[in-house]
Structure formats: C-alpha cells, structure tokens
Amino acid sequence: MSYLGVPLRVAIGSGIITTIANSSTSGAGYLARGLANLRVGYSLAIATILGSIVGVIININIPTKILYIVFGVVLAIAPLPGIISSKDQIFVVRHTNQDPISMKLGLRGSYYDENKKARIEYVGSRYPLSFLSMMGAGIISGLLGIGAGAFKVLSMDYVMGLPFKVSTATSSFMIGLTATSGGIQYLILGYADPLLVSLLVPGVILGSYVSSRILNKLASKTLRYIFTVVVWLLAIEMIWRGL
Amino acid sequence: MSNPGLAERAVYNILKLSVIASLVVIAIGVVWMFYHLHIQGFPTDKWLTFNGTRISDFVHMISRMDPRGILGLSAIILILGVVLAIVSVLITSLRMRDNSLAIVSTILLILLLISTSIGLVIKSRG
C-alpha cells in the first residue's frame, strides 16, 4: 500500500483492520472445525496484547534497528529444528506433563486430521515460557504493525508443544485479538481509511475462507515447508530494515 | 471444567455474523458511492486520496450522505465482532462456572479498554 502512495500510518491502520477480517473469517472456520483452540488462543492473547502495547512504546522511544536485526536472526534460525527433524511428529503427544497453569487453563484438545484420517489428541504445556515468547510476538506486532503470526506459530509449536496445524489455526484466530487492540487505536487516531478498507476486505475474506478450508487437508510437513519459506522471507525483510 | 464447545460455538457465530455484516455494509456503501458519484459527477482528487478518517468523523459523513461513512462502519463492525465474541465467552464461562476462562476473557476485555484509553490519550495530546 505504501508503494502506491498511501501514507505509511494509514497503510498500517487499514492493514490492521483487514487483518481482523482475515482472522475473523479463518478463525471462525478453524473453530468450527475444531482446529483452533479457543482456550490456548485467549490465554496467550493476553501476552500478545501486552507485548503490542510495549512494542508501540519501544517504537516511540528507542532506535529499533538493532531489534530488527536480532528478531530477524531469531526468525531465520527458529524453523531449522522442524526442517532437520525427519519424523512427522503429528501423532506424538509431545509434552505429556502439564505445568499447573496450563492444567488450570485446560490447555488440551483434539482435532480430526483430514490428511491422516485420524483424531489427534494434544496437550499444551510450559505456559509461562510460552507467555514470554508470545510477548515477543506482541512486541514485533506493535513495532511493525503486523500480525506476527509466524512468531506465534513458533511459540505454540516449539514451546507449548502443540501440533503444527493447531498452532497455525490458533495463531490465525489469535491475530484478530491483537489486531483489534491496535485497530481501535488506529481508528481513534484516524489512521484507517474506509475506502481503502472496503477495497481490501472482500478479497482478504475470500482468500482466508479458501485457505481455512485447505489447511486441514495438507500434510503437516508440506505446511511446515511453506511456513519456513514465509518465515525466512520475513527474516530477510527484518534484517534488511535493521541494516 | 465446562463444555468448551459452547463458548467456541458462540465465538464462531458472532465472528461469522460480523464478517457477513461487514460485507453487506461494504456492498451497500459501494452501491451508495456509485449512486453518489453518478449524481455529483466523477470523483475528485479528494475522493481518490487515502488519508485516513477518524472514528468520530464517520457519523458526520453519514449525516452528510457521504458513502465513506457507511464504508467505515464495516471496520467498526469487524472490531465489535471480536469484542462481542470475548463478551460471549465471558458470559458462557460464568454461566458454566468455568473460572479460568472467565478470568482470561475479563483480562482481555480490560486490555482492550486500556488500549482504547491509550488511543484516546494520544489523540487528546494531538
């Protein structure tokens, strides 16, 4: 949008509103199919919203170039364990011992994997660590005005030990919550353009509706490779911004 | 622990409704815009620039029969959808005596209120 002459802040504000449309469409679809976990999404959204508030404060007060490089390098390295591991971990309940907070929050669930033709049960654990990593995702979101979904997926996948499809679907559902927090501010400040939003929203809704129907049919490994490419592109963009 | 399906169903219905409502509003806004432009001639430079609109301006726009006011409502509907979804989870969890989910959704609502307050403070400082 900024390449088309739209002021950067208006582009970010309008982009955040379309992110809500994207998340509401795909998130609702994932919830209906049992792929997104409402409890995981809501309990971790507390961290991302807090992080996004911190991100905005950082953005205003300190030079962000070093942060861009640090986060970019972290993003580039983070997906490597998933690629190196040759085993398809989808049938494995990766963390059977839940911490007390995860247990109290009821962070567990199951879904039917259309690719494997099997019901997968899973348990979410290490909530405190996941909360901290989600704050990092929120900070990125506040700094750059993006959903930072890649960070959220990494946190749920590696830290909390959720299946990759559940992490992806829950991340998509959660992004709407973080975006709403920013979207309200951008709307109050007049950094969202109604005409621009109305041009973008129908296309975004159509795209997210289609993608939410495809996700469960894909093999987790294929999904992970697609995800890794997206993460690396994001890492390059962040390092580029920092240089 | 309560049946999580109830809360999920409520969120699903509200989010779906908000997306459909925003699409309907956009469709009405676009039709209204073309009708408006047909009467008043081709769009001016003012119409074709994307400079952002404050939430408080939407009401004035609608009262002036400016279709951008209606288009702006779609953004408000999407935000309201997310907020109402959290409220519905809070109500469901309270009815089912699911304390953990009730606390989580209350914290989320408080954080959204804080976020709104920050926006209003920044706006008041100009």
The DSSP line for B87-112 is HHHHHHHHHTT-HHHHHHHHHHHHHH
SS3 at position A168 = helix
Residues A167-173 have a mean pLDDT of 90
Query: Tell me, what's the pLDDT at B1?
Result: 40
CB A205 within 8 A of CB B23: yes
**Strand locations in chain A (E):** 108-113, 118-123
SS3 at position A85 = coil
Which residues in chain B have Cβ-Cβ distances shorter than 8 Å to A21?
19, 22, 78
**Nearest CB to A194 within list B72, B100, B118:** B72
Res. B6 pLDDT band, cuts 50 70 90: confident
**Nearest CB to A193 within list B1, B53, B89:** B53
Judged against a pLDDT cut of 90, whether residue A183 lies above it is answered with no
Percent of residues, chain A, with pLDDT higher than 90: 11
CB A192 within 8 A of CB B54: no
Whether A192 and B19 lie within 8 Å, measured CB to CB: no
Res. A210 pLDDT band, cuts 50 70 90: confident
Q: In chain B, which residue's Cα lies nearest the Cα of A47?
A: B108
The residue type at B39 = I
Range of the domain at A164: 2-242
ipTM of the complex, rounded to two decimals: 0.85
Which of A57-71, A113-127, A186-200, B99-113 has the weakest average pLDDT? A57-71
Query: Tell me, what's the pLDDT at A58?
Result: 75
Residues B5-14 have a mean pLDDT of 90
Higher pLDDT, A193 or B11: B11
Percent helix, strand and coil across chain A, each to the nearest 5: 75, 5, 20
CA angle A124, A126, A132 (to 5 degrees): 115
Which residues in chain A have Cβ-Cβ distances shorter than 8 Å to B72?
192, 194, 197
Token look-up 């992806």 returns A168
CB A139 within 8 A of CB A51: yes
Per-chain mean pLDDT for chain A: 81
Q: Which of A20, A110, A191, A206 to mutate to test the interface with B (most CBs of B within 10 A)?
A: A20
Report the domain count for chain A: 1
Q: Which of A178, A184, A205, A209 to mutate to test the interface with B (most CBs of B within 10 A)?
A: A184
**Strand locations in A22-178 (E):** 108-113, 118-123
Residues B42-76: tens digit of each pLDDT? 555 555 566 666 666 777 777 777 777 888 888 89
**Nearest CB to B4 within list A10, A32, A38:** A38
Higher pLDDT, A163 or A191: A163
Query: Tell me, what's the pLDDT at A112?
Result: 87
Res. A132 pLDDT band, cuts 50 70 90: very high
**Strand locations in A84-167 (E):** 108-113, 118-123
Which residues in chain A have Cβ-Cβ distances shorter than 8 Å to B114?
53
Put simply, whether the predicted model's pTM sits higher than 0.90 gets the answer: no
Whether A194 and B74 lie within 8 Å, measured CB to CB: yes
**Nearest CB to B30 within list A50, A176, A198:** A198
Residues A101-128 have a mean pLDDT of 87
